[in-house]
Amino acid sequence: VEKFEKRILSFLEDLRARPEERIAVIGHGGTLHGILCLTLGMGLSKLWWVHMDNTGVTLLEEEQEGFRLVYLNSLCHLRR
């Protein structure tokens, strides 16, 4: 768990250092759950507390105080 957390935190630091304003992150469920838990301060003990569908889109915005969850697991791109 410690190595997993270190990898995610390192990845988030790399993202923060990038000059782009918007960055899309595409990954597997475990990693995406880990990113969500750590950015929202939930800790990895709650890794599977939130349901995320395949192809679900989640938007996090970084603010001075931390990250804000704008939407979670949106599937609107699948509706016609």
CATH code for the domain of 34: 3.40.50.1240
Buried b or exposed e, range 65-79, using 16+ CB within 10 angstroms: eebeeeeeeeeeeee
Q: Is 80 helix (H, G, I), strand (E, B) or coil?
A: coil
Number of domains in the chain: 1
Mean pLDDT of 35-40: 96
Mean pLDDT of 31-36: 97
The first and second tokens of residue 67, run together, are 């990250």
Look at residue 80 and tell me whether its pLDDT is greater than 80.
Answer: no
Nearest to 60 by CA among 18, 17, 16: 16
In sequence order, the 6+-apart residues with CB closer than 8 A to the CB of 55 are: 75, 77, 78
Amino acid at 13: E
- pTM of this prediction? 0.88
Host domain of residue 56: 2-78
